[in-house]
């Protein structure tokens, strides 16, 4: 059963843990599941990821940042996501096109219509069946990163991260059928349960045709 599930959220929201959990649970239930991430997920994409996250003082303009992300995305869609969906597999992706709308749009101030057009070109119009947003107040999320070296995105201002969060919540509000918003401060098991409930509905709907 082809299904495309995307996880989104600000820094420190707990996406990686939850994507791993869901992927394991689906695999145990007998579904062929592919877990990947953006930027990254391919050899090229992981190289781009290192360039983007590295906090070594290299200046990257907002447009250059966007195009690097979209290059990695085009590679990931053509090399991994599309073939898996065509083979009837479930794909879970840690971030996808919504990240661009909130980070490069709400965050960096790039034009939203331009972002939508480039997202569309890079993905050939692919969009998620379900977007899980792990919502967490900016200070709480960044607080979880304390003591670790901050990457280029984590080093942005609180204001930048607040715009990102606002962007996510606005997008989720306009498309509640596709978006599931879960409070990222809940205990891990409670978050897992809420996500599994929603995914089960989707699985039932898909298997009924």
Residues that bind ligand TMP (CB under 6 A): 37-39, 69, 94-95, 99-100, 103-104, 153
Which residue, 122, 125, 72, 87, is CA-closest to 3?
87
Q: Considering the complex, what minimum distance in angstroms separates the CB of residue 87 from ligand TMP?
A: 24
| CB nearer to ligand TMP: pick between 55 and 200 | 55
At 78, list the tokens.
Answer: 């053509």
Task: Give least dist CB 196 to ligand TMP, A.
Answer: 22
Q: Which is nearer to ligand TMP, 98 or 181 (by Cβ)?
A: 98
The SS3 assignment for 199 reads helix
Minimum CB–partner distance for residue 207 and ligand TMP (Å): 30
* Cα separation, 9 vs 31, whole angstroms: 25
Beta bridge partners of 5: 92, 130
Q: Which two three-digit tokens encode residue 191?
A: 């978050």
The string of DSSP codes covering 108-126 is T---HHHHHHHHHHHHTT-
Which residue, 159 or 206, has its beta carbon nearer to ligand TMP?
A: 159
| CB closer to ligand TMP, 63 vs 87 | 63
Tokens of 147: 């003591």
Least distance in Å: CB of 181 to ligand TMP?
17
């Amino acid at each position: 059963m082809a299904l495309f599930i995307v996880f989104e959220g600000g820094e420190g929201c707990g996406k990686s843990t939850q994507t791993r959990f869901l992927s394991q649970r689906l695999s145990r239930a007998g579904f062929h599941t592919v877990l990947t991430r953006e930027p990254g997920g391919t050899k090229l994409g992981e190289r781009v990821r290192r360039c983007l996250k590295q906090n070594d003082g290299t200046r990257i303009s907002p447009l250059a940042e966007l195009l690097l992300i979209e290059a990695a995305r085009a590679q990931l869609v053509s090399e991994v996501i599309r073939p898996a969906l065509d083979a009837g597999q479930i794909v879970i992706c840690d971030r996808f096109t919504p990240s661009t709308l909130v980070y490069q749009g709400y965050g960096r101030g790039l034009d939203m219509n331009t972002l939508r057009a480039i997202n569309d070109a890079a993905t050939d119009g692919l969009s998620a069946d379900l977007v899980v947003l792990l919502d967490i107040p900016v200070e709480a999320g960044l607080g979880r990163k304390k003591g670790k070296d901050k990457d280029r995105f984590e080093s942005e201002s609180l204001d930048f991260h607040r715009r990102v969060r606002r962007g996510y919540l606005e997008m989720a509000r306009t498309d509640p059928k596709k978006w599931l918003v879960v409070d990222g401060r809940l205990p891990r098991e409670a978050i897992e349960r809420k996500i599994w409930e929603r995914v089960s509905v989707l699985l039932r709907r898909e298997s009924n045709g």
